[in-house]
Amino acid sequence: MNGQTPASPAVNGITPAQQMISSCSGALLTSLLVTPLDVVKTRLQAQNNPLGKGKYFVYSNGLMDHICVCENGKGWYKAAGQFRGTLDAFYKIVCCEGITALWSGLPPTLVMAVPATVIYFTCYDQLCVALRARMGERAQEAPLLAGAIARVGSATVISPLELIRTKLQSQKQSYSELTSLIRSAVQAEGWWSLWRGLGPTLLRDVPFSAMYWYNYERGKSWLCQWYNATEPTLTITFISGAGSGSVAAIVTLPFDVVKTRRQVELGELQAKNLSGPVSSSTFSIMKKIVAQDGFRGLFAGFFPRLIKVAPACAIMISSYEFGKAFFRKHNQERIPRQLHSTNT
């Protein structure tokens, strides 16, 4: 017997590496399940308003939004006839183009969406534990602050990569040409040019994340008490994720409307000239929308956003929590085995 005990995992019984694996697997599962919904939604919208060559549209894989460019005159897809609704669109896309068409454009976006999700979820867990230990009686508010900080960090890291992806797709440039273009933009405008468009993203995503995590943790705790559960089950995390995601999506919808409009305009601007002027501020665009369409214009796309966000949040958080629970149980079972081996 040497008296040594095995080192325990860092946070909540699991290591940061295990948190990363859990968030990565959750991100992949979410994108695989949610992307077909956005592909069908975009195809239905493009049926009424065709996307011409060089036009930009917002593509969502359930994890984050991306700017994509229409590369041919017929749109970013093969023609599959007229769609009479969502189910008809699913059926015709699968029959005419194959089932893989439901995941059109997914691989390039995962290059950024998965790392962003891993950074975001891992940072949130680490920050939340640290803040709860320091906030004392106000520990219940730790998820609010941790969610906001984690989102700022992940969005700041990914923003330049998304700009580079947009340039590569729109202009078909080589990496050497792109490097030269970015270098000249940095010299002309400074390093901040790489984070153009980050402001509107943060105005939507930071409040969303703060509300989402706060409501999720409170909802999860309340449901555990309601069902007399010592640990949150898959059902509890799924319901909590869907509910908190829905609330956050509704409250931040005006910022989402503005961000989508600016994102498309910014994508077209970046494709032409990296150092071109930015049109309007977020609140200027809000004023224009209210003047044109009234306050209802700020809540355009209410149901499509809710239908997209609620299941994405539910799938992501429940799969993430399932992964963490798996590793936590694995670690707890491993410690007695290590103790037994050291004693013998």
62: left (phi > 0), else alpha (psi -120 to 50), else beta? left
Supply 106's token pair: 């997914």
Task: Give one DSSP letter per residue of 148-167, joined into a string.
Answer: HHHHHHHHHHHHHHHHHHHH
Would the pLDDT of 7 be above 50?
no
Amino acid at 39: V
Computed over every residue of the chain, the mean pLDDT equals 79
pLDDT of 254 reads 87
Residues 6+ apart with CB under 8 A from 171: 271
pLDDT of 5 reads 42
Would the pLDDT of 185 be above 70?
no
Fold of the domain built from segment(s) 16-270+281-331: Mitochondrial carrier fold (1.50.40)
Task: Find residue 56's DSSP bridge partners.
Answer: 69
Confidence of residue 1 (pLDDT cuts 50, 70, 90): very low
27 within 8 A of 316, measured Cβ to Cβ: yes
Tell me the pLDDT tens digit for each residue of 27-59. Answer: 999 999 988 887 887 777 666 656 666 666 666
What's the angle, vertex CA 229, arms to CA 228 and CA 230, rounded to 5? 120
Amino acid at 154: S
Handedness of CA 308, 31, 208, 217 (dihedral sign): positive
Confidence of residue 226 (pLDDT cuts 50, 70, 90): very high
Tell me the pLDDT tens digit for each residue of 315-330. Answer: 999 999 999 999 998 8
Neighbours of 263 (CB within 10 A): 22
Model's pTM, two decimal places? 0.80
Q: Distance (Å, rounded) from C-alpha 61 to C-alpha 104?
A: 10
Which residue, chain included where needed, has tokens 């590496």? Answer: 17
Would the pLDDT of 171 be above 60?
no
